[in-house]
Every structure is written in C-alpha cells, then in structure tokens.
Amino acid sequence: MDKLELFKTISNNLTNTLHLLEDKPEETTESTLKALWFAAAGYPVSAEGSLKLPIPDLTENQIEKLHQLIQLRLKGVPLAHITNRQNFMGIELISDKRALIPRKETELLGKKALELSEEIVRSQGKCNLIDVCCGSGNLGIAIAYYNSDCMVNSSDLSEEAVQLAQDNVNLLKLNNRIKVKQSDLLSAFETEDYYEKIDLIVCNPPYISSSKVQKMDSEISSNEPVLAFDGGMLGIRIIQKLISEAPKFLTYQGWLIFEVGAGQGNFIAQVCERTALYQKINLIPDNSDIIRVISVQKA
C-alpha cells in the first residue's frame, strides 16, 4: 500500500472515532493525521502547519510509530502535546504541558495588539510592551516577530510557563527583543524602570469561573494547567486586578488590551469605565459578533 492509500485508509477509520474540540477548529481528521504522520517521521509540525506540506514516505518502524501516536490521540492526549508544536498567527511554537495550548480565538487579540504596536511605532519610532500571563509566550512572540521595533517583557506566575516561553523565544531567536520573567501579574515590574514607561500591555488572562473549570472536557482538564483557566468565582478576578494596576506602568495615552470570555465584555467595559483611569474603551467582537477583546487607553 502506498502512502496516499495508507493515509486515506487511516483517515477513514479516524473519522468516527476522533474526538475534536470546538476551541481547536484547526484540528480536523486530515490535519490531525498529517501532524501525527510528520511526528512519526521525526518532523514536529502543528496541525495547521502540516496542511501546507506533502506527507513524507514512512519506514515500517515509522508506520508502527504512527499507529502508537494515533492511539495516544484517541486516548485524549492533546495533538499539540504529541507533536510538540502549535501554530499561532502563522508561527510554529513549542507546545507541551507547561502552559496553555495557544488557541485560534486568541489570534483576534494578537492581531489587534499587533496593530496597536504598529500605530505606536509610527508615532514614536518604538514600542515597549509587557505580555502578562504569557503562557507559552505566543502573544509577545508574535508581536515581536512581526514588529521589529517592539521590545517585549513577557511574564507569567507559573515557573514552568516561563521556561516554555523562554524555549520559544530561543527557538525563534528573539532573545535580543524579548525578556521573560516570573511575575504575579505586574509585580516583577514594580520599579522606576517600568513605571509610566510601557506603551502597551497585552494579556490573555484566565477568565473561566472556578465552577466551570471543573466541568471542562477531560482532554483539557487532564492535560493543561488549571492556573491558565481559573479566573476565580466569577472568572474576572485577574482581569479586574489588571485593569486597576496597569495605568501605573503605562505611558500617557498608553494602551491595555486583553481577552475576555464570551458574555463578559459589556460588564468588563463598565468596570473599566468606573475606574475613571481610561479615556477610550474599545469593544472588539469575533466573527460571531461576540465581544472577545477589549482595548483601553490610559486617561
């Protein structure tokens, strides 16, 4: 059986047995099998990245390895953990248990933050940015990758996430423009070096209520850190803290931009307004017209 026949046979068998999650729309039967195929061949690539490449020939040992990887996936191990790769805004990143797997939905935040960073550069020639709750480092990395005039400080409470973010910075050779440190939100930046010196703060915070975290799909709850999801009783504890603390670090007319959960947008906008710390509040919807990103400019 040639490789295309083998691919088709396995794909047909997977169609009815593969458990696919809504929050990873890039993972289909085809992209999952292709990514596992490349992993068996010793070439790590994400589901999204695999679709751009022709499948390679496999040796008998590699075919056996492929079947082993498929079994791992069918047992609920996330694809990104098997392949060690996840694509975010066109960039291949290392992904494993140390941090949240970057989601496609967060690309809305990434693209809007990138646009803001480019506007800042056009007006003043450079942009100083902090990526809070950085996880695998995907947001800060994407902005620095596409905007060479942006200097980034990425931080996370989890030491493991910090290590993964640093691995991704090393992978993309961005060490000269991204520094990664452990921090409880902005606590590590409490010095004169950062007060009112940051043009843009970006954050994808935990925003799921504690009660809902316990009901998440087992593929997520058993493999991704709870710290990356749990936003407290109402899911907004960390967001509220960030909104109140960010202005201390932002330059005059600096920006804070962050992701919110579905249904949280209008309430969080009111929280921002009540602080009187911000002069502009922009609500950014996704393709389903649900507010998923909020950007606010310091007053």
Residue-wise pLDDT for 177-186, tens only, equals 999 999 999 9
Residue-wise pLDDT for 64-98, tens only, equals 999 999 999 999 999 999 999 999 999 999 999 99
Domains of the chain and any CATH numbers: 3-83 (1.10.8), 104-298 (3.40.50.150)
Distances (CA, A) of 237 to 139, 242, 299: 21, 9, 23
Q: How far is CA 211 from the centre of its chain?
A: 23
Amino acid in the structure at residue 134: C
Query: Distance between CA atoms of 219 and 75, rounded to whole angstroms?
Result: 9
* DSSP 3-state of 254: strand
List the beta strands (DSSP E) in the chain: 85-88, 91-94, 127-132, 150-156, 178-182, 198-203, 250-259, 278-285, 291-298
Query: Distance between CA atoms of 149 and 57, rounded to whole angstroms?
Result: 42
Q: Which range among 23-32, 99-108, 222-231, 247-256 shows the weakest confidence by mean pLDDT? A: 222-231
- The dihedral of CA 98, 244, 196, 202: what is its sign? positive
How many C-beta atoms surround the C-beta of residue 190 within 10 A? 13
Average pLDDT value over all residues in the chain: 95
**HSE of 71, CA atoms in CB hemisphere, 13 A:** 6
Among 198, 179, 211, 184, residue whose Cα is nearest residue 254: 198
The position carrying tokens 């009540």 is 274
Give 141's pLDDT tier (boundaries 50, 70, 90): very high
Among 168, 97, 179, residue whose Cα is nearest residue 130: 179
* DSSP 3-state of 229: coil
The token duo for 256 is 């804070």
* DSSP 3-state of 159: helix
Residue 236 pLDDT: 85
Query: Distance between CA atoms of 202 and 130, rounded to whole angstroms?
Result: 6
Residue 1 pLDDT: 75
Predicted TM-score (pTM) of the model is 0.95
End-to-end CA distance of the chain: 67
